[in-house]
Amino acid sequence: MSAKYPRAHEGVALVTGGSRGIGAAIAKTLAADGWPVAIGYRSGVDQAQAVQAEIESAGGVATTLQADISQAGAGDALLADAQEALGNPVLVLVNNAGVRRDGLSPQITDDDWDTVVATNLTGAFRLTRRAVRTMIRARFGRIVNIASIVGIKANPGQSNYAAAKAGLIGMTHTVAAEVARRGVTVNAVAPGFIQTDMTEELTEDWLKLIPARRLGTPEDVAAAVRFLASEDAAYVTGTTLTVDGGLTA
């Protein structure tokens, strides 16, 4: 383990939605930095175990934990399970789990709205609420909320997702200010268009809108999370780091 991450001896990392895409890349990156990683997943057990196997074959430590964080009590249980499985409290929390139910506002149903807000925002808040209690006692903690540029800039067809992600950014600012003097940082990362299952349907036309002229990779996002989770980022809190190839520049 790198001496740069001494806290990895005292804590573990939890990445929700860690079985695939951006979450899987984040889990692997944090593990490479020496953090034992709990890979939270809702339904992709095989994918989650594949991420775990990849981490372990690279010499890292990981476990997989099933949870539907939209359910009350699931966040508390997930944090407790991570501590039990890996032997130390969660000092790095990456709220990455997300779902989409796209449609123009007139067509968004109550269920579309509630499902997206429950996972992307409420689930992240409940995990944050519990994790931060341990972090303030530890005088160290890193919370990274995976938002989206949709929380910053309009994207027709995603009013529910946009509201949840903007909410996540607002929550990030305020919790950061609440706990900053205990050595706990809270930041958001706002990916643009990233090559994952969630962006498969994007057409070539979209690329013309991106100054970098390419989709981002999960590793591009993981690199930003790696920095924000590191000791080096101790004075960076309450910010939103866009990882979007210049799309919102």
Partner 1 sequence: MSTATRDAVSRKIVETLASFGPAIDDLRPEATLEELDIDSLDIAELAQVVEDEYGVEISGDDAAGVTTVGDTIDLVLAKLP
Which of 133/173 has CB closer to partner 1?
Answer: 133
Structure tokens at 139: 């005088």
Q: Which residues between 105 and 134 bind partner 1 (CB under 8 A)?
A: 133-134
Among 137, 202, 213, 232, binds partner 1 (CB under 8 A): 137
Binding segment toward partner 1, per CB under 8 A, in 2-10, 166-174, 179-187, 202-210: 179-187
Phi-psi region of 103 (alpha: psi -120 to 50; beta: other; left: phi over 0): left
Phi, psi of 190 (to 5 degrees): -115, 95
- Write out the catalytic residue numbers: 161
Among 85, 136, 207, 233, binds partner 1 (CB under 8 A): 136
Among 173, 182, 217, 231, binds partner 1 (CB under 8 A): 182
Cβ atoms 180, 205 nearer than 8 A: no
77 binds partner 1 (CB under 8 A): no
Which of 89/245 has CB closer to partner 1?
Answer: 89
Instruction: Collapse the DSSP code of 115 into the 3-class scheme (helix H, G, I; strand E, B; otherwise coil) and give the result.
Output: helix
The answer for residues whose C-beta is within 8 angstroms of residue 58's C-beta and 6 or more apart is: 28, 31, 32
76 binds partner 1 (CB under 8 A): no
Which of 78/179 has CB closer to partner 1?
Answer: 179
Which of 28/130 has CB closer to partner 1?
Answer: 130
Q: Give the HSE-up count for residue 81: Cα atoms under 13 Å, Cβ half-sphere.
A: 20
Cα 47 from Cα 41, distance rounded (Å): 9
- Could you tell me what percentage of the chain is helix, strand and coil, using 3-state DSSP and rounding each to the nearest 5? 50, 15, 35
Q: Minimum CB separation from partner 1 for residue 133, in Å?
A: 4
Q: Minimum CB separation from partner 1 for residue 179, in Å?
A: 7
Q: How many residues bind partner 1 (CB under 8 A)?
A: 8
Q: Minimum CB separation from partner 1 for residue 182, in Å?
A: 7
CA-based nearest residue to 37, from 56, 18, 61: 61
What is the DSSP code (8-state) at residue 103? B
Q: Minimum CB separation from partner 1 for residue 80, in Å?
A: 12
Binding segment toward partner 1, per CB under 8 A, in 31-39, 90-98, 115-123, 175-183: 175-183
Angle in degrees, CA 17, 18, 23, rounded to 5:
90
What is the DSSP code (8-state) at residue 221? H
Which of 114/178 has CB closer to partner 1?
Answer: 178
**CA-based torsion, 147, 148, 154, 160: positive or negative:** negative
178 binds partner 1 (CB under 8 A): yes
Which of 70/172 has CB closer to partner 1?
Answer: 172
Residues lying near partner 1 in the complex (CB under 8 A) are found at 133-134, 136-137, 178-179, 181-182
